[in-house]
Structure 1
């Protein structure tokens, strides 16, 4: 083989190896960098959030670049100043710098850039790691609220103080490194200069003096910041959170002494550098600063003051600080505007079952328990095996011109319920792709009657005018796999007789799969080669993923805390999910934290709407007074819309979320005692009332009620929770939160007289069990072949006293469990009755109350209500078997 051929072969081999190397680099780059970037970019483009996505990517690096440049400039300028002082300082006559020393000096000066950059990067990295806090600091605005002790803006504590602490440490490191570097330069120059040619450099002394005084200034700044850290003091727990007499009258003065003595130490040290004073004064003030520092940090001194001065007279010493803690905690949880009212107790005998207002209220009593209702929806409205109802939601709708409280659930696709043999790639990703509408019932139902359905079946049908243009559900609460739609196979839609109705997606969700490159990238992204090899896609095909709305929202805005109960809304325009989101903070001054959650500030700042068909996510600012959401709004322009821009058909369904109400009531149960003396004694502490579930008692959870609470005759949607005195079972207060627009977010506390016995839910449960007629009926029902279930007790503040209603369900023992409302228990005062419907129970209750009243003889008697015949359990079972299917 000739040399020419050998050279050609070598060139070709080199070319191939180089090409393979370039290809390997490109593959690695695509694998580790570009795939996630492009897939997310396309996904955010589909949401109309391209600028938001790019800002989220760029902000951390912009922060890093900004602070790196800032600190680099500080380092470099100081090194250049030192170099300038050395290089241009007048030398003694006859001094000749050695050649090697000259080269070394130039080399060191050339290294200033690299050295300054490395040092700046080391200092900037911690800020880079806290980039989101840095952005909140830069974009944060005033809240208009001041802390009660120092009078500083609350936004200062939320945004500025954490960054000031971080910057103080970083700046201290910067100045200390600069001083060390500059001292080394001056020492090196002096050491390299022969003794006979050394001179005193005044410029070097001034430069060093500035750096020394800067270090002491930064140290003093750190101690000044410690003043505000006192507002997070925990030494006074469990009585109250925040500073007390010891912190504000002992430790705070020590901080001021530390600051002043440190500053004087720095000043006299500078004077020593210039040989104006000796070492005596700097040492004296330094010792004073050390003593003051130990005085504020050593527990022995503070504990002694607390033991012998504060504790014997704590109510006098700490009164103002207890009040500060109460006021700050109420403000931090949005409880400073709770409207307190006294519940007007009337005679229970004044209850009138024929009163139109009473009948109207009973029409919206939520007698179904959400947990029990889930199995009812699954069995009666699941229809196909692959549909499920992951959640049952409560809401209110206008039905035939009436304001009705309802339960509804989204009928979502659940691929795991397909037969195992049918769980193939085409079925999972191309055909069984979406759910079908909602099922809806009224909240109030009667026992022994067929269930009323406002919306039912597939496709969804309504005899009450509740129609919708689009009822397909591609995005919801179930963890759905990705779907490629439309496709040439078609998707399984509504049943059409014995055949399936094939449909094709016509929405804007997901990202297009319309090129070979996209199919390659998406196949690699999802680790699924079938995406690339399938021939069932077309030019309109789109891949829908992140179809769980919680996952979807958190991928967009991971900085929000989400409510645990997103809910579906049925509208004429389609189906939408509403997700409540919270902004939280753990550094609200003087406020007590919520249990072990770590935060002591929360706001329901955002309402998030997700289109169940297209997947579009929209953010609406629900609390413009919240400084945190205002900072995010400025940080990401156009991302958060005002709540006024929410479509009217959605706005009428927003509701006050249960999670934040639970948190608020946990705090309010203690902090409603705004009088410092009463708070100190905890004489009126409350707790969540006990509710019987089965044979056990549990703290009540908030639930929704429709009442004319604020304006007689005008029904409104409220979130409700009963509270009892701590350690007791009687009722102390009823808490309500408004949901309708004009009263949204307003919280009302209806208090009962402290000197009057008002039955609580646990006590009423005991009264029910003591009723011989009801107990006998329960014993007959709860026999072999049937299972008795008790719903959660509902409290209606009507008739001048709390009206208790508890549903009783019956279900057959066995694999198929369809609970049915059998009876409704109603109690007012000491009277307890049971009937098949609320209206019948109200009539029986009125009769029972009038019978027990002292004025029974004076009032026109009413005919006793028809007594309910006690039905043996076997007869009930036979009756159920012959009953037509719901």
Structure 2
């Protein structure tokens, strides 16, 4: 056949060329037809409009979920009274997003579109083309600008702080700036520099494909002429010069970051940082500026040698002056003379760390000479003994669940310690909240989960020092409905907002809500509060149905226009949604106010990791899962912390109120200025809530841990760690670990008025004895005052772990523990309390017994100890009496059968008749037993005067008995 028989007909050739194809000819003599530029088929304006409408419709459909979330969020903020906060946050984010988007799109398209025009013109001169590239460039620029603008909008908190910054009034000595510059300004400057650097870098990298695509065929043939285009290199030189200027600006900010250096002996800029590191950064910034100028010059005239030289100098400053020189100086100059050279910088670290964590507010006092515990010390502290906490919250929580859970779907996530005025006397109590755990519902249908089982019910309260005959707590408040045997009444026991309420419910519907079980029937209720968004329109129901991805919200007939949608019911999630810039303490606690309503109190912190020279610490920030009963595992590094806010959340209505507990904190003052009306003065807190505020354990743990080092303010002592302390260990719940702070009611040394304190002992770093103890005052008149009482260093005062060892070494106690562990049960040792009593210390540890077949711990024994004796008995009074006897001679262990029953008087044991004038040894022993029995009976009855007289008589009788025995011998 001839070649013509295989030629493509002309009509098909033209169609293929219009579609962008070329007929391939054989290399052996066939002529290749001339190339024609690809021209996309023309589309009508109507078709283009249809494409745009389809795109917008799809975008709207995919955005419905976000629109519904936004709308319901607005309704949620509005019904809580925080509409202005929502609008301001939205406005700030929108403005930042808009400005960033416009800037990004101007930079990207302002560089890429002119570059495309120049590239296409240059390509057309050589036969190349770039069909359809303009829309692609615009689309990529829009997407990248959107991402960059979203990142900028995410910094709204930092921007608000920057715009409303309040001064700290603390000047950092190195650069002479207020701490506010580092906390409020520097983070914003860092972000702006990094954001602009990223934007220019993206613009620069985009030039390469824009100049290359029109010349792909040339590049495929191995011709790199398009990439050596003068237009490309001049354009790249301008953007490269801007990029290097931003890089140089980063070095200027890095100079301030030296104040967070970890190179020296203490955190913060040291001798090497300021003598070598600072100058290295200055040289690097100078050489980077020169390199930028050299690159700019290349945009006018090719001169690659100039930026290469300055770039080499910059690299030398990075590797040698910034890398090698500081290490050499630190090793051979600073380390041999470390104390002398680092002294001013250690002083900065000590001073600013103490300021950052408010340690300078801790008042140091001498405790005075420590004396052995005497019976008179117990008489002088009647109120203290009446409020000693015998219950450890962990076994008590399991006891609550067993005795007061009452149904498998009720749970107690925590047990808290608080104080209430009962019958005119302040009593320390334990309190648990009975919440609904829906994971244990027997029939978890949609109606049950969303309409019927909507809330927990009631609280359980017991005094810290009373125990029933079978080792269980003696309840003040218990059962359904809450039954109280004291003056505290719970009038609104329903708990719609709590620690376990992490779902959405619809209350006030046509279906009654389960309230609590009563015998074989259930008691129901209808919600009558103000919590939740009212679903009074189809639009709101539709929005919640889309937010929850739950069509039943629309389909269910029980939901009416008066029904309320309650979501974000978990109190910490609720607070974080309102004020995400506050760090929440891990332990909210429940309060019964004077009206009988249940109110959650939550401590919140303002924190920062930008406080110069302050040593950073890692603190817990929340549970790693949505289950609040799980241990707190996530942490955050900070170097500034204040308990700036107390937050009250109504358990029935869900209202949230913020009270500023530390008005001197510049961060909370800045937020208060940014959101007027949100944060109220501490004095505005209702008096019935103010009476229950407490110093948070989380903050005291942080402060105490730092104070073990930063109580040393002398540089030489600090450097040598001559007086380093530690948090002592204890054995609790079968594990040895650091002792936890504990709330007690006792008078401070030198005072006669008992008050509510949070205390924590200290030990020397290498020993187990006690060296000091820290007290945080909680009563409103003195709230937040911190006092540390330092013990004489020449005297031995037993620390907690030493007392634990003495308990284990006491044969009678050890034998009893071993016996219990072998009888199908296990011994649980509670927290060891170290209580300062006058000039002495009383150690108290409760002992629980838990059967292997049930999770019902019973309080069986109370161990008490002093510096000279250890005693154990069934009751605190018996243990204290035994301790009083043993403190003058040898340790004595007694077992006392007297216990406090549930409000009922215990059956008194017959009291032996006191022999007035004993003559024989037998008569003296009988008299001693009679005095001991009378003292124990007086203590049970609270007759402390008789108790003291009987102990004195017992002491006298024992002394006379000893003399009679000596005469007999």
Normalised by the length of structure 2, the TM-score is: 0.73
The 5 Å alignment of 1:399-438 reads 399-418=422-441, 420=442, 422-438=443-459
Measure the CA separation in 1 of the matches of 2:686 and 2:97. Answer: 40
Q: Go from structure 1 to structure 2 and tell me whether the alpha carbon gap of 1:611 and 1:169 turns closer, same or farther (over 3 Å shift).
A: closer
Q: Answer yes or no: is 1:736 the counterpart of 2:775.
A: yes
| Mean Cα deviation higher: 553-562 or 582-591 | 553-562
Q: Go from structure 1 to structure 2 and tell me whether the alpha carbon gap of 1:386 and 1:129 turns closer, same or farther (over 3 Å shift).
A: closer
Q: Deviations over 1:806-856 (max 9, x none)?
A: 1122334413x3322222111010211122322332222222222369xxx
Measure the CA separation in 2 of the matches of 1:292 and 1:22. Answer: 53
Compute the displacement of 1:638 (Å): 2.3
Q: Go from structure 1 to structure 2 and tell me whether the alpha carbon gap of 1:711 and 1:545 turns closer, same or farther (over 3 Å shift).
A: farther
Q: Deviations over 1:338-363 (max 9, x none)?
A: 111222233205442652x3221111
Compute the displacement of 1:77 (Å): 12
SS across alignment from 2:71: helix
Verify the 8 A CA contact 1:469 1:572 in the aligned structure 2: no
Compute the displacement of 1:546 (Å): 2.1
**Match for residue 143 of structure 1 among 168, 177, 191:** 168
Measure the CA separation in 1 of the matches of 2:818 and 2:305. Answer: 93
Report the equivalent of 2:371: 347
**Match for residue 360 of structure 2 among 336, 350, 353:** 336
Q: Answer yes or no: is 1:319 the counterpart of 2:340.
A: no
The 5 Å alignment of 1:739-754 reads 739-754=778-793
**Match for residue 606 of structure 1 among 635, 640, 645:** 645
Q: Answer yes or no: is 1:538 the counterpart of 2:560.
A: yes
Q: Deviations over 1:611-652 (max 9, x none)?
A: 100111222222222222223223323222222222221122
Compute the displacement of 1:376 (Å): 1.5
Q: Deviations over 1:250-287 (max 9, x none)?
A: 33344455667777999999999999xx9999999998
Q: Deviations over 1:183-211 (max 9, x none)?
A: xxxxxxxxxxxxxxxxxxxxxxxxxx999
Compute the displacement of 1:178 (Å): 11
**Match for residue 267 of structure 2 among 227, 241, 250:** 241
**Match for residue 166 of structure 1 among 167, 191, 198:** 191
Measure the CA separation in 1 of the matches of 2:187 and 2:752. Answer: 51
Measure the CA separation in 2 of the matches of 1:131 and 1:66. Answer: 13
Compute the displacement of 1:790 (Å): 1.7
Q: Go from structure 1 to structure 2 and tell me whether the alpha carbon gap of 1:347 and 1:29 turns closer, same or farther (over 3 Å shift).
A: closer
| Mean Cα deviation higher: 669-678 or 51-60 | 51-60
Verify the 8 A CA contact 2:373 2:841 in the aligned structure 1: no
Measure the CA separation in 2 of the matches of 1:332 and 1:388. Answer: 39
Compute the displacement of 1:764 (Å): 0.8
Measure the CA separation in 2 of the matches of 1:282 and 1:382. Answer: 76
The 5 Å alignment of 1:398-797 reads 398-418=421-441, 420=442, 422-446=443-467, 448=469, 451-495=473-517, 499-573=521-595, 574-595=597-618, 597-693=636-732, 696-709=735-748, 712-797=751-836
Verify the 8 A CA contact 1:353 1:359 in the aligned structure 2: no
Q: Answer yes or no: is 1:805 the counterpart of 2:852.
A: no
Higher relative contact order, chain-length normalized (CA < 8 Å, sep 6+): 1
Q: Go from structure 1 to structure 2 and tell me whether the alpha carbon gap of 1:173 and 1:729 turns closer, same or farther (over 3 Å shift).
A: closer
Measure the CA separation in 1 of the matches of 2:330 and 2:405. Answer: 66
Q: Answer yes or no: is 1:52 the counterpart of 2:77.
A: no
**Match for residue 276 of structure 2 among 230, 233, 250:** 250
Compute the displacement of 1:781 (Å): 3.9
Measure the CA separation in 2 of the matches of 1:416 and 1:114. Answer: 48
The 5 Å alignment of 1:209-220 reads none
Normalised by the length of structure 1, the TM-score is: 0.79
Q: Which runs of 5+ in 2 are unaligned?
A: 1-46, 113-124, 126-137, 207-236, 619-634, 892-923, 935-969
Q: Go from structure 1 to structure 2 and tell me whether the alpha carbon gap of 1:213 and 1:410 turns closer, same or farther (over 3 Å shift).
A: closer
Q: Go from structure 1 to structure 2 and tell me whether the alpha carbon gap of 1:506 and 1:116 turns closer, same or farther (over 3 Å shift).
A: closer
Q: Go from structure 1 to structure 2 and tell me whether the alpha carbon gap of 1:281 and 1:784 turns closer, same or farther (over 3 Å shift).
A: closer
| Mean Cα deviation higher: 168-177 or 346-355 | 168-177
Q: Go from structure 1 to structure 2 and tell me whether the alpha carbon gap of 1:765 and 1:24 turns closer, same or farther (over 3 Å shift).
A: same
Q: Which runs of 5+ in 1 are unaligned?
A: 1-13, 80-99, 101-112, 182-208, 854-859, 869-886
Compute the displacement of 1:440 (Å): 0.7
Measure the CA separation in 1 of the matches of 2:588 and 2:859. Answer: 27
Compute the displacement of 1:314 (Å): 0.7
Q: Deviations over 1:669-728 (max 9, x none)?
A: 222222221221122222221101355421112221122116623222222222222232
Verify the 8 A CA contact 1:149 1:324 in the aligned structure 2: no
Q: Go from structure 1 to structure 2 and tell me whether the alpha carbon gap of 1:538 and 1:687 turns closer, same or farther (over 3 Å shift).
A: same
Q: Go from structure 1 to structure 2 and tell me whether the alpha carbon gap of 1:321 and 1:66 turns closer, same or farther (over 3 Å shift).
A: same
Verify the 8 A CA contact 1:133 1:163 in the aligned structure 2: yes
Q: Go from structure 1 to structure 2 and tell me whether the alpha carbon gap of 1:402 and 1:649 turns closer, same or farther (over 3 Å shift).
A: same
SS across alignment from 2:174: coil
| Mean Cα deviation higher: 319-328 or 749-758 | 749-758
Q: Deviations over 1:52-104 (max 9, x none)?
A: 2233333222113235567889999999xxxxxxxxxxxxxxxxxxxx9xxxx
Q: Go from structure 1 to structure 2 and tell me whether the alpha carbon gap of 1:694 and 1:637 turns closer, same or farther (over 3 Å shift).
A: closer
**Match for residue 844 of structure 1 among 863, 882, 885:** 882
Verify the 8 A CA contact 1:476 1:547 in the aligned structure 2: yes
Q: Answer yes or no: is 1:228 the counterpart of 2:256.
A: yes
